[in-house]
Amino acid sequence: MTGGLVPRRSVLYMPASNERALEKARTLPADALILDLEDAVAPDAKDAARENACAAVRSGAYGDREVAIRVNAVGTPWHAADLAAAAAAGPHAVVVPKVGSADQVRALVAALEAGGAPERTRLWAMVETPQAVLDVRDVAAASPRLAALVLGTNDLVKELYAAHVPGRAPLLTALSLAVLGARAAGVAVLDGVYNDVKDLEGFEAECRQGRDLGFDGKTLIHPGQVEVANRVFAPDEAAVDDARELIAAFEEASAQGRGVVTHRGRMVENLHVESARRTLAMAEAVAARG
Ligand SMILES: CC(C)(COP(=O)(O)OP(=O)(O)OC[C@H]1O[C@@H](n2cnc3c(N)ncnc32)[C@H](O)[C@@H]1OP(=O)(O)O)[C@@H](O)C(=O)NCCC(=O)NCCSC(=O)C[C@H](O)C(=O)O
Ligand SMILES: [Mg+2]
């Protein structure tokens, strides 16, 4: 039993115009894929990319992993055609960049439904503008079809006139607000990408930071980042052992009528048991992925 948890430790973007990348993704152990029609695709290649993405979704060649299509933003010349094609192809999610408000989320959901999107097709809204960060709670709660927030940290840095620095101090408020908004609405939240595909040490540090802030996983841009994200965002053996022992210690104490106990020197109450059960459920969901 995995408690219905869906691992989204590693969510790999690829340009839908890059047929080699679409092919290679079939064999990569990423938890989910985002076939991009937006920033990674040149204007001349948009139509072909849209066809490739929809064909890839329909092919069923990516196993039981979530496959999403990222459409171009509202207001661009490609948005309407992207959304209509994606709705008809029926991916697990349609990722919409630069979402600006809860009203826009509702309009996007209405357009997906009008386009005949199947029930399984969720909306993932990108949080990558100052307005979206400031309205994140309303955006996250705008529709039951909205299943995840996805941080766009490149656009955020650009919009804030900020800088990409180790430790991401300029982004911490936005990152935490996004996690708060997602948790308040009960939706998933994915951290932004790490641009230096050769710097795995810096990437791992950023994965750890994202995990500790509360993100479910990280969006990625290169196959070389998948293993690290999968490892960092999964409970390790020590965490699983600790969770099992904590639950056992609490159950033993409960049987004796106590509501609080110490385990490895730390106070344990029922809320810690709930966290430990979530750790075990996530470990099971990851193991089930194979
Ligand atoms: C970043 C890249 C342009 C690097 O490309 P390249 O130098 O060609 O990589 P490699 O030679 O190291 O590739 C090795 C093999 O891996 C395949 N590959 C590379 N990237 C991917 C991928 N993303 N998915 C699947 N497969 C991939 C290559 O084909 C090689 O295969 P083989 O022939 O078998 O050796 C490139 O990695 C890339 O294009 N990455 C994705 C870029 C992207 O999608 N960007 C848009 C999303 S990020 C964004 O917009 C975030 C957000 O909006 C924000 O604001 O922050
Ligand atoms: Mg962006």
ipTM: 0.98
pLDDT tens by residue, the chain, 290 residues = 345 799 999 999 999 999 999 999 999 999 999 999 999 999 999 999 999 999 999 999 999 999 999 999 999 999 999 999 999 999 999 999 999 999 999 999 999 999 999 999 999 999 999 999 999 999 999 999 999 999 999 999 999 999 999 999 999 999 999 999 999 999 999 999 999 999 999 999 999 999 999 999 999 999 999 999 999 999 999 999 999 999 999 999 999 999 999 999 999 999 999 999 999 999 999 999 87
- Cite the beta strand spans of 65-205 per DSSP E: 66-70, 93-96, 122-127, 146-151, 188-191
Whether 25 is in the pocket of ligand 1, judged by its Cβ within 6 Å, is: yes
Residues with CB under 5 A from ligand 2 (ion): 128, 152, 155
CATH of the structural domain 10-232, one choice from 3.30.70.980, 3.40.50.300, 3.30.420.10, 3.20.20.60:
3.20.20.60
Whether 40 is in the pocket of ligand 1, judged by its Cβ within 6 Å, is: yes
Whether 17 is in the pocket of ligand 1, judged by its Cβ within 6 Å, is: no
Whether 135 is in the pocket of ligand 1, judged by its Cβ within 6 Å, is: no
Q: Of the ligands numbered here, which is closest to the C-alpha atom of 98?
A: 2
Q: Of the ligands numbered here, which is closest to the C-alpha atom of 40?
A: 1
DSSP 240-257: HHHHHHHHHHHHHHHHTT
Domain range list for the chain: 10-232, 237-289
Q: Ligand 2 centroid vs 18 CA: distance in angstroms?
A: 18
Nearest CA to ligand 1 atom 10: 222
Q: Ligand 1 centroid vs 93 CA: distance in angstroms?
A: 20
- C-alpha 139/C-alpha 100 separation (Å) is 8
**How many C-beta atoms lie closer than 10 Å to residue 285's C-beta?**
18
Q: What is the pTM of this model?
A: 0.97
Q: Ligand 2 centroid vs 193 CA: distance in angstroms?
A: 10
pLDDT tens by residue, 145-175: 999 999 999 999 999 999 999 999 999 999 9
